[in-house]
Amino acid sequence: MPVVPYRESKLTHMLKPFLGGNAKTSMVAALSPAAVNYDETLGTLKYANQVKEIKNVAKINESPQDKMIRELKEEIERLRLGGASVGGRGNVDNSELEEKMRQ
């Protein structure tokens, strides 16, 4: 993935955590049709084009404990619905699942 260089401006430094971090961001560029604002409008369009090239992959921030709890709940639900086995063994009693959850 190519690295998009950030423009050196106060706005860019304020938005840097949102533009390249773990967030979904939308940008609205306000343009002016007046000839007096040509340079400012052109700068805004160039900046918006640079930001458009930045691609983020947002992921859910969760602690290892939360992840384990979520996975165990999903496993319990799979066992209830499909009757699948845990770890390749046939029947699993509740005490083993409770012990896993306690860990």
**Measured between alpha carbons, how far is 63 from 61 in angstroms, rounded to an integer?**
7
CA distances from 14 to 10, 11, 71 (A): 6, 5, 37
Q: Cα angle vertex 76, ends 101, 84, to 5°?
A: 125
Judged against a pLDDT cut of 80, whether residue 95 lies above it is answered with no
Q: Give the confidence band of 38 by pLDDT, cuts at 50, 70, 90.
A: very high
- State the average pLDDT for the chain: 75
Residue 21: pLDDT band by 50, 70, 90 thresholds?
low
Q: Where are the chain's structural domains?
A: 10-52, 64-102
Q: For residue 5, what pLDDT is reported?
A: 58
The answer on pLDDT for 8 being more than 80 is no
Q: Residue range 59-86: average pLDDT?
A: 82
- Residue 63 in 3-state DSSP? coil
Q: What is residue 18's predicted lDDT score, i.e. its pLDDT? A: 67
